[in-house]
Amino acid sequence: MSYWSEKALADQEEYEWARGILCEIGALEECENHPGTFFDGGNDVEGAYKLVNKRVTSGEIKLDKGQSRTDLTDLIKAVYDDNSGLTGCPECEENFGPG
């Protein structure tokens, strides 16, 4: 696998990890009818920052060499910004009306 393929795969894994953290704390939700469709879950993104920092402190999350907590919170913020803004699944709302 080329360097760029490996980097793209690693970036995708980090993105999915951050999205999972956001779903875990309820800042994002995944549509149960349309997997892979995410929308605002109603909880504040600050909860994700706190959870990640707690897990770094406890050793559950190990930072890579040169990586900081700020790198993780920046990633979480970017993923949140990419996936929030919608209050529900657009496809479900189109088919069934607002929830």
d(CA 17, CA 87): 22
- Longest Cα–Cα distance of the chain, Å, equals 48
Q: What are phi and psi of 28, to 5 degrees?
A: -125, 155
Cβ-contact 19, 83 below 8 angstroms? yes
pLDDT in tens, 49-78: 999 999 999 999 999 999 999 999 999 999
Look up the pTM and report it. Answer: 0.85
Cβ-contact 55, 65 below 8 angstroms? no
pLDDT in tens, 16-51: 999 999 999 999 999 999 999 999 999 999 999 999
Q: What is the mean pLDDT of the chain?
A: 90
The dotted CATH code for 3-84 is: 1.10.10
Q: Looking at this protein, which amino acid is placed at residue 78?
A: A
